[in-house]
Structure 1
Amino acid sequence: MEYVLKTINLSKKYKNNLVVDGVNINIKQGEIYGIIGENGAGKTTTFRMIAGLTSPSNGSIELFGKNRENELEKLRKRIGVLVEKPALYINMTVCQNLQASRLQKGIPGEESVEKVLELLKIHDIRNKKVKDLSLGMKQRLGIALALLKDPEFLILDEPINALDPIGIAEVREALKRLNRERNTTILISSHILRELYEIATSYGILHKGKLLEELTLKQLNEKCRRSLNIKVDNLNKALTVLERKLNISNFKVLPDGTIRIYEYVDKPGVVSTEIFKEGIVIEQIMPSGDNLEDYFKSLIGGTY
């Protein structure tokens, strides 16, 4: 499968501050790649380098399999970008802003404007001046501007910032539809990790400028999947009960002696009853399972 983006040891230094430190991102065609990271992790700087808005201090960028600077300049025409606040003409209407951007980018015909108005459900505010829009509506207009040229690769930095729950859901569905119907590859960041979990198919975790891990949604679910954790006074006897009495084969024993089973997660009473019948003392029995936010916290070793 073709890689839409690869960064090789990508770094950015401002004076003595290394903001992005040797980042290697790999995004395949058709993926929705979610970047996770706290404020100051280097997300926006990384996006700006990929989009050509700032130059790397070290490392390189490969787009659509090409990495020469003159090639990257041409290939960036196939990218739609929303990084930080969108540049808007506040005394012009939504439609006028889109038309101005269309002409500036040399996009023929007016169909592109109508398409993005419909896609992001902002056709009802087409004649409103930008200065009269809410922050959330301005954000949706910014996304619309990034989508005007029907990009193959879409880069969105905090696109659902300031949106209300309905707006978040509509933008989420629009991006999923873009990905599904047009095979648009998307690189997206958000502070709302549960939303990233709803949309992304793979993830990169940034912390203090370093990429700690890349993983697919399947790998994330495997690491975060729900289980029943049991500690007993007689490990071997308990394992025999699980295997022979409950026919459980999907389990593992952790180094501290905790038994982690992936069956009967919602029926801890059944498990504890069978173990108790054999005279085994249960020291602890509790369900376990992380969400994306929990996993991120555990990886960076702190709060988010």
Structure 2
Amino acid sequence: MSKFIIETHHLTKKYGEQVSVSDLNIHVSRGRIYGLLGRNGAGKTTAMRMLLGLTAPTYGDAEIFGKPFQGNEKKILPRIGSLIESPGFYPNLTATENLKIFARLRGIKGSAPIQSALELVNLPYKDKKLFSQYSLGMKQRLAIALAVMHNPDLLILDEPINGLDPIGIAEVRDFIRELCYNSGKTILISSHILSEIELLADDIGIIDHGVLLEEESLKELEQKNGKYFHFTVSDAQTAAHILYTQFNVKILEFLSPREFTVSENQLDAATAIKELIRNGLDVMDAHLYENTLENYFKKLTGGEGIA
């Protein structure tokens, strides 16, 4: 059994000369939350639509549940729940009444699946409130209830917290975690809200202009983006060599002939500066910084940050 629920191979989508998704290789592990992070228009939705068979790839392919996926497999699609676009709920019906209609269309029998889905997203089963009276957060929760009503193994959620207020975001975040960690579902979620992906995801893929720039676990990214020292000295190469040999620090980057960065690694800055001066170097500046995922995103994409 493959540890990956989703694995894509050079998945690409072109619209004429425009490349929406280019050579995408992602790996969504079983029982984890995978956050696909990128600005609006980065290619997240197109990638998800290809994984659901809603858009045919120009070339490349995907494996879902360890099997090749061509977009119309009757054994694979029923195991997937999705939220790509807002479902067409009837505003003059209650949540239960809306779900009953979708259940009938999908051949889902009985009231138990509907009641279970509503309880999962903390919406009442017997309620007279109409969909038109729902808040944005409640509407989004109902959309996810529809996605999980048939008890799928995999959820593909495109921007499920988009447009929600802080309370709505917290509500959606909580039951997405519950779906994964308590109900055992694998979740692929996209967002342009970096702070939320940090709070939700186990693994992160960063996509920009249709290209996957990075794919790592959140823990690996946090280790990569820890604290670091920025030194400005008379000779960066010599200073870096001294710090490496004397203090066993990791040299991160040379920024100019006079500037370089090293991993914080419990380095005593005062002692390091004294050692550099003792070796005849001038030390103009030494500062401790904390590299955030926001800064890392800017560095990867070569542009502005993300919300």
Shorter-normalised TM range: 0.7 to 0.9
User: Which range is displaced more, 233-242 or 64-73?
Assistant: 233-242
Q: Within 5 Å, give how 1:124-273 maps onto structure 2.
A: 126-233=127-234, 249-252=248-251, 254-256=253-255, 258-264=260-266, 271-272=269-270
* Further displaced range: 40-49 or 127-136: 127-136
What code does the residue aligned with 2:260 have? T
Return the letter of the residue paired with 1:255. Answer: F
Question: What is the rounded CA distance, in whole Å, between the counterparts of 2:7 and 2:109 in structure 1?
Answer: 31
Deviation at 1:44, TM superposition (A): 0.8
* Aligned residue-pair number: 297
Query: Is this contact kept in 2: 1:241–1:275, CA < 8 A?
Result: no
CA displacement at 1:4 relative to structure 2 = 0.9
Equivalent residue for 1:287? 288
- State the match for 1:60 in structure 2: 61
In 2, are the aligned partners of 1:66 and 1:72 still within 8 Å (CA)?
no
CA distance in 2 between partners of 1:91 and 1:300 (Å): 45
Structure 1 residue aligned with 2:273: 275
- Decide whether aligned partners of structure 1 residues 72 and 2 sit closer, same or farther in structure 2, where only a CA change above 3 A counts: farther
Partner letter of residue 55 of structure 1? Answer: A
Instruction: State the superposition RMSD in angstroms.
Output: 2.8
The offset of 1:107, in angstroms, is 2.7
Structure 2: 5+ residue runs without aligned partners?
Answer: none
Cα pair 1:95 1:127 within 8 Å, conserved: no
Letter in 1 for 2:171: E
**Amino acid of the structure 2 residue aligned with 1:122:** L
Render the CA deviation track for 1:18-54: whole Å, top value 9, x for unaligned: 2122212221211211111112211111111111222
- Which sits farther off after the overlay, 193-202 or 119-128? 119-128
- The residue identity in structure 2 corresponding to 1:82 is L
Equivalents in 1 of 2:180, 2:199: separation in Å? 13
- Contact (CA 8 Å) 2:228, 2:291: kept in 1 or not? no
Q: Distance in 2 between matches of 1:54 and 1:125?
A: 37
Contact 1:49 1:56 in 2 (8 A): yes
**Identity of counterpart residues, as a percentage?**
39
TM-score by length of 2: 0.85
After superposition, the Cα gap between the structure-2 partners of 1:293 and 1:115, relative to the gap in structure 1 and judged at 3 Å, is farther
Give the partner amino acid of 1:194: S
Q: Extract unaligned runs of 5+ from structure 1.
A: none
* Distance (Å, rounded) in 2 between the aligned partners of 1:30 and 1:48: 21
Contact 2:12 2:21 in 1 (8 A): yes
Distance 1:203 1:237 in 2: 35
TM-score (norm 1): 0.86
- Give the stretch that moved more between structures: 84-93 or 196-205: 84-93
Measured after TM superposition, the shift of residue 242 of structure 1 is 9.2
Look up the match of 1:34: 35
Q: Is the 8 A contact 2:244 2:251 kept in 1?
A: no
Contact 2:5 2:30 in 1 (8 A): yes
The alpha carbon displacement at 1:159 in A equals 0.2
User: Which piece of structure 1 moves more, 291-300 or 145-154?
Assistant: 291-300
Question: How far apart, CA to CA, are the structure 1 residues paired with 2:110 and 2:128?
Answer: 19
Question: How many Å separate the matches in 1 of 2:69 and 2:262?
Answer: 50
Which letter maps to 1:262?
A: E
